[in-house]
């Protein structure tokens, strides 16, 4: 079952305590689709500028990602510049250049319209809504966003959230969006905005998912070395939604498994810059880490 994703395709310039790269392939939709492509077909909606090289396009095509919805517009590709200190859980944005996204009007290819799974990756919430208005009746709509849009386009974001089933954001964004410091209370506020579930990404501390009647938490895979956390959140979402779409099963038990697949995928992305690690990954490595994750938090009930 295929997934439709709208989000950014970007050139990222990143500095971490362990290295520095300039204008490497990044973007929320790029990480998402690459991760999801390990599980199912992905239809990508985004825009790039004339400076976007064929080599990046080819990498996505080789992973089976449908690029009919990737428009090339006059101008420059979206650019993001970020820095991380030793606390790798927090990205400091140094610069965001929307470029071709400023005037982008998404037009969904006809064959994308009946997509049953839709992921609104981190991008202008007005574009997210625009895409939702063009799809027929998805089974599941999930969404990500970030402080840039929570501060800059709050009303548009609240409008988009009314249509969203699962919101996937990081801990700081939960507090900021809900205007509430306590995570559990903040989750209640967000669940009243529209989403039925809230998945909170907590960097090296894992993920906690709040739904109306349940809370589920899982640790992050304990890596010895984290090199660059950029894209971890989008990769998480790609594994999470990719697994759900491939199994077409939205029971609580399966959603929990999907959260673990998301965490496993993210653990690979952070091992190197850009999509370098995902490009070399195979499904056996994913399965092996999934098994380790089960052991990591398995314990006996009390009698």
Sites of contact with ligand AMP (CB under 6 A): 8, 10, 12, 26-28, 31, 80, 96, 122-123, 146, 148, 230-234
The nearest distance, CB 122 to ligand AMP, in angstroms, is 4
Give 8 or 197: the residue with its C-beta nearer to ligand AMP. Answer: 8
CB under 8 Å to 185, separation ≥6 — which residues? 178
The nearest distance, CB 45 to ligand AMP, in angstroms, is 13
What stretch of H or E contains 178? helix 171-178
Between CA 32 and CA 115 the distance in angstroms is 16
Give 122 or 197: the residue with its C-beta nearer to ligand AMP. Answer: 122
Token pair for 111: 């064959």
Give 232 or 278: the residue with its C-beta nearer to ligand AMP. Answer: 232
The nearest distance, CB 303 to ligand AMP, in angstroms, is 42
CB under 8 Å to 48, separation ≥6 — which residues? 9, 70, 71, 72, 73, 77, 78, 100
Between CA 227 and CA 160 the distance in angstroms is 34
Give 148 or 216: the residue with its C-beta nearer to ligand AMP. Answer: 148
Q: How many residues does the chain have?
A: 303
Give 40 or 230: the residue with its C-beta nearer to ligand AMP. Answer: 230
**Residues 164 and 120 sit within 8 Å (Cβ to Cβ):** yes
The nearest distance, CB 174 to ligand AMP, in angstroms, is 14
**Residues 10 and 78 sit within 8 Å (Cβ to Cβ):** yes
The nearest distance, CB 57 to ligand AMP, in angstroms, is 16
The residue nearest ligand AMP at its CB is 26
């Amino acid at each position: 079952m295929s997934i439709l994703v709208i989000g950014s395709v970007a050139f990222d310039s990143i500095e971490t305590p362990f290295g520095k790269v300039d204008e490497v392939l990044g973007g929320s939709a790029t990480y998402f689709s690459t991760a999801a492509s390990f599980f199912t077909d992905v239809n990508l909606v985004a825009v790039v500028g004339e400076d976007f090289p064929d080599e990046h396009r080819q990498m996505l095509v080789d992973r089976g990602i449908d690029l009919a919805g990737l428009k090339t517009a006059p101008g420059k590709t979206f650019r993001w510049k970020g820095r991380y200190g030793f606390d790798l859980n927090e990205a400091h944005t140094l610069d965001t250049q929307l470029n071709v996204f400023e005037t982008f009007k998404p037009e969904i290819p006809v064959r994308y319209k009946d997509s049953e799974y839709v992921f609104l990756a981190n991008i202008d919430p007005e574009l997210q809504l625009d895409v939702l208005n063009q799809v027929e009746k998805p089974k599941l709509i999930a969404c990500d966003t970030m402080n840039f849009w929570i501060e800059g386009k709050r009303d548009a974001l609240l409008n988009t959230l009314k249509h969203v089933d699962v919101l996937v954001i990081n801990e700081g964004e939960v507090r900021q969006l809900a205007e509430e410091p306590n995570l559990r209370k903040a989750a209640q506020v967000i669940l009243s905005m529209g989403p039925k579930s809230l998945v909170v990404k907590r960097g090296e501390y894992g993920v906690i998912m709040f739904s109306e009647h349940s809370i589920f938490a899982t640790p992050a895979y304990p890596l010895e070395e984290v090199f660059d956390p950029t894209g971890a959140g989008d990769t998480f979402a790609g594994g999470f939604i990719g697994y759900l779409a491939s199994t077409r099963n939205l029971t609580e038990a399966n959603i929990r498994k999907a959260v673990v697949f998301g965490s496993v995928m993210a653990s690979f992305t952070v091992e190197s810059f850009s999509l370098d690690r995902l490009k070399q990954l195979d499904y056996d490595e994913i399965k092996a880490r999934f098994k380790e994750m089960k052991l990591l938090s398995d314990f006996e009930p009390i009698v």
